[in-house]
Amino acid sequence: MIEILKNFFKQSFSYGIANIINKSSSFILLPLYTHYLSVSQYGNLEILLITYSFLLVLFQFGIGSAVMKSVLYDPIEEKKIIISTAFIFHIIALILIAFILIPLSKPIALLLFKNIEFNLYVKILFISVILNSLIAVPLALLRIEEKSKSYILLTAISSLSELGFNFFFLVYLKLGIEGIMLSILLKSIIIFIYFMILMKSEIVTKFSKSVLKEILFFGMPLIPAGIASMILTISDRYFLKFMAPPIELGLYSLGYRIGLLMALLINSFQLAWPTIMYKIADEKNAKAIFSKITTIYLIFLLFISLILSIYSKEIIEIISASNFHSAYRIVPFILISYVFFGFYYMTSIGINLKKKTKYEPLIVGSSALINLILNYLLIPAYGMYGAAIATLLSYMILVFLSIHISNKFFKINYNYHIITAIFLLTMIISIMANTIYFSTELYNYTFKFFLLFSFPLFLFISGIIKSSDIKGAFKIVQT
């Protein structure tokens, strides 16, 4: 158990460093964007960026997860044949998509922005997405071989190039949105070249139809689920753009970025988890191990979310101008929403192990549909607060559906009473920290410190965390 946890957290820590490097550029660039773009331009940029994210999920076809499953858990061919088959198919498919999409850039620009000048930006977006989609198989290869150091190097190169290009195009040449989109394109080209060099030694001439069939059987059901997942993540911004004042979109986007720090952490676990999950599945007491890891994982996520929630006001004030400061009010909603998302990822073990990914579209799709309905009902009346509430409720439903369906195929007895208690405790502390204020800053900081300290104190007093757990954690960290 300790050895499994060591490997899991070691890989998660490495991927976490990479993700911090990768995402930190977005936070560094935030003051730059707000200084060199108007409020309306920043809103349009946000729409371009979330459209980019949506298409990236769509065009990856779930092929990375399918390759990992085929190599690690249920190999039907040698690794190089699996990698080559998946990569060659992906290249051909994306070339065909490029020929279809690029001519449609003008009508799409008119649909989203009602401005023909955005035609160029949409074209750059399409090319960048296709280049980044092509790294799905090479990235899966890095994860299979647990080459987290190579992943760190890649993200460092990517982030530094993005910062450099943005400063050149936005600050020096003052190209506005065009400069930002050119920066994304050039960064995508650099990453693409890096991975092509990596893949050179892995490609063989043999193409296996049986491998492709297996990959598509596993990966294709993930596409609707991926689309639905992106709806959960980005639809609120589209609703805010068309159904709320422009300032609501700007404030919500900033608050959401702070919440994305939680998503960054969760993504680090997700990158490491599949490799560990398939190894744990071979253990005799696999279900007990899964339950234990999930509880520890959630305690860790909730504590980090609590830190960010308690000090969200101070964080917002440091990174933004005064007219953005009220954005902190939606941060706790987004943080807890993403903790639920992290929980969902852990509760889908049975679906992945038993090849029941066909249920993913049902689970995520149902949550996405509810999210759309809630956004439509709540945003016109409550603006960004309605969007935040809709997001939280939708992710809660996502977890409940996942547990219900996944446990039919691989039942795991999670510690529901402990999980419920720590979720409620986190929410209560967060509400207190963001609603109770004192006359002096010293009192406020002292009060927030004691609120934060009360979380681990409760865990020890209640017996949720024992001294043996701490000793085990120290062993993992020391190694």
Cα dihedral across residues 113, 118, 119, 124: positive or negative: negative
Model confidence over 447-468: pLDDT tens digits?
Answer: 998 999 988 888 888 877 766 6
Question: Given this model, what pLDDT does residue 392 score?
Answer: 94
In one letter, which amino acid is 349? I
Q: List the chain pLDDT tens, one digit each, 479 residues.
A: 555 555 555 555 555 566 666 666 777 887 788 778 776 777 788 889 999 988 988 888 777 777 777 776 655 557 777 777 888 888 888 999 999 888 999 999 888 887 888 899 999 999 999 998 888 887 777 777 666 677 777 777 888 888 899 999 998 898 989 999 999 999 999 888 888 887 777 666 677 777 777 777 777 776 777 788 788 889 999 999 888 887 888 888 888 888 888 887 787 777 667 777 777 877 778 888 888 888 888 998 999 999 999 998 888 888 777 777 888 899 999 999 999 998 888 888 778 777 776 787 788 889 999 999 999 999 999 999 999 999 999 999 999 998 888 888 888 888 888 888 899 999 999 989 888 888 788 888 889 989 999 888 888 888 777 666 555 544 544 44
CA distances from 102 to 50, 92, 127, 181 (A): 18, 16, 8, 15
| Whole-number Cα distances in Å, 420 to 43, 74, 426, 457 | 37, 35, 10, 17
118-170 tens-digit pLDDT:
899 999 999 999 998 888 887 777 777 666 677 777 777 888 888 899 999 99
3-class DSSP assignment, residue 437: coil
Give the span between the Cα atoms of 45 and 51, in whole angstroms.
10
pLDDT (0 to 100) of residue 395: 94
Tokens of 220: 């294709």
What are the helix and strand counts (H, E) for the chain? 20, 0
Distance CA 103, CA 123 (A): 8
109-115: which pairs have CB atoms within 8 A and are 24 or more residues apart?
112/47, 112/51, 113/44, 113/47
Give the Cβ contact number of residue 323 at 10 Å. 12
